[in-house]
Amino acid sequence: MPGTAAFGKFIRILQFIADQPGRSSVAEIAAALRMPRTTVHRIVAALQHEGLVEDKDGLGLGLRLVSLAWRSLDQSGLRQLARPSLDRLNAALDETVHLAVNSGAEMVYLDKLESRRAVRMTSRLGTRVTLHASAVGKSWLAAQPDAVVEALIPTLDYQRFTPHTIATPEALRAEIAATRHRGYALDLQERELDICCYGMAVVTAGGVQACVSVSLPRYRFEDLPADRAQAALSECVRGIAAALGGARV
């Protein structure tokens, strides 16, 4: 349908702007999304008029869109129910904690608690991370039935973020098996150099509800005993699952 196609272009442009670490230009968006520059310019102008995009030394998300996003997060029952357990995990390890939910071939950060240490993560709420190169993604995959995993694996884009990124379906299958065996997922500098993560899924009778990760610099990862991280994560996901029991989110 024509209206659906036009709306899809608006969403693709908004998503591109949101995913960039810095400001974007019309030319950069047009090149990256392979759209005519005139089309991008027209859509960006409409988005600016509605306050969804702003131009301050480049294009970024507008305050109206940020306000809508925060309102959505504040109304998220999952985020509210998970927060006490996330707080305890953050306090126990003093490392950055993420709560993520699945969105197709990606995971989306729904909540984040910062470490109180000097070296912290640069992620933000709403950040999307791939299934194959994140602890939350691999923990989500490992908690899925084999049929779901096998349907997804051939469709993923195995983008290499670092030399350590898993880059083949065979390697991902092996990592999912290892995750199931050890009981938690690992990201060993696979998305960012010198950043490592532990991940674990929140599973209820209704299936996988979310995933939790602990992210930390490599030198602190090497000093943190794996059994301590696993115990703290396990307590966290059990607490979230218990809070979700019978709750509508």
Q: CATH number of the domain that 117 lies in? A: 3.30.450.40
Q: For the whole model, what pTM was predicted?
A: 0.73
Is a pLDDT exceeding 80 seen at residue 235? yes
State whether 33 and 127 are in the same domain: no
State whether 65 and 81 are in the same domain: no
State whether 97 and 45 are in the same domain: no
Residue 104 buriedness (CB in 10 A; 0-12 / 13-18 / 19+): exposed
Q: What is the rounded CA–CA span in Å between residue 124 and residue 111?
A: 8
Alpha-helical (H) ranges within the chain are 2-19, 26-33, 37-49, 63-74, 77-93, 135-142, 146-152, 169-182, 218-223, 226-244
Q: Is 229 helix (H, G, I), strand (E, B) or coil?
A: helix
* pLDDT for 62: 77
Domain annotation covers residue 173: yes
Domain annotation covers residue 99: yes
The pLDDT confidence band at residue 9, using thresholds 50, 70 and 90, is confident
Q: What is the rounded CA–CA span in Å between residue 130 and residue 110?
A: 15
Exposure class string for 108-135: b at 16+ Cβ within 10 A, else e? bbbbbbebeeeeebebeebbbbbbbbbb
Residue ending a domain, among 69, 88, 107, is 69
Domain annotation covers residue 249: no
State whether 40 and 138 are in the same domain: no
Domain encompassing residue 16: 2-69
Mean pLDDT, rounded, for 73-79: 66
The pLDDT confidence band at residue 72, using thresholds 50, 70 and 90, is low
* pLDDT for 248: 42
- High-pLDDT (> 70) share of the chain, %: 89
* pLDDT for 69: 62
State whether 100 and 61 are in the same domain: no
State whether 10 and 90 are in the same domain: no
The pLDDT confidence band at residue 226, using thresholds 50, 70 and 90, is very high
Mean pLDDT, rounded, for 84-101: 96
* pLDDT for 86: 97
Task: Find, among 232, 225, 222, 177, the residue nearest to 199 by Cα.
Answer: 232
Domain annotation covers residue 63: yes
State whether 95 and 120 are in the same domain: yes
State whether 130 and 61 are in the same domain: no
Residue ending a domain, among 15, 41, 69, is 69
Task: Find, among 167, 216, 175, the residue nearest to 192 by Cα.
Answer: 216
Q: What is the rounded CA–CA span in Å between residue 172 and residue 38?
A: 41
Domain annotation covers residue 115: yes
Residue 48 buriedness (CB in 10 A; 0-12 / 13-18 / 19+): middle
State whether 109 and 171 are in the same domain: yes
* pLDDT for 193: 95
Domain annotation covers residue 167: yes
State whether 152 and 218 are in the same domain: yes
State whether 234 and 148 are in the same domain: yes
Torsion, CA 225, CA 227, CA 230, CA 234, rounded to 10: -140
Q: What is the rounded CA–CA span in Å between residue 183 and residue 139?
A: 9
Domain annotation covers residue 43: yes
Sequence-separated (6 or more) residues with CB below 8 Å from residue 20: none
Q: CATH number of the domain that 37 lies in? A: 1.10.10.10
| Alpha carbon distances (Å) from 152 to 13, 49, 119 | 25, 39, 35
Two structure tokens written together for 51: 């306050």
Residue ending a domain, among 12, 42, 69, is 69
- Could you report the per-residue pLDDT of 185-213, keeping only the tens digit for each? 999 999 999 999 999 999 998 899 999 99
State whether 56 and 175 are in the same domain: no
Domain annotation covers residue 124: yes
Per the structure, how many domains does the chain have?
2
